[in-house]
Amino acid sequence: MLGTATLLMLLRLAAAPPPAPVVHYDATALFALDLGDDTQRRRFWDESHLLAALQGLANRSGPHLYLRFLRGPDDFWWGR
């Protein structure tokens, strides 16, 4: 009986679709912008908020998009 239950469980796992890959987007280039310049500061604000909003929408049903803003902390969490 135990062998049959194990076999059925393995068949269900094999039939399940593979999880979708998580897209890793590197946004660290934004920190190279000159925030003393009004145009570049607005670009930083616009793009960082756009990326954060997209991340929230993309990750509603599960992890699909990972944003890398800060090298140290984000690399730590990506590696876990």
**pTM of the model as a whole:** 0.70
pLDDT in tens, 31-68: 999 999 999 999 999 999 999 999 999 999 899 999 99
Q: Say yes or no to pLDDT of 24 above 80.
A: yes
Alpha-carbon Rg for the chain in angstroms: 20
pLDDT band, residue 5 (cuts 50/70/90): confident
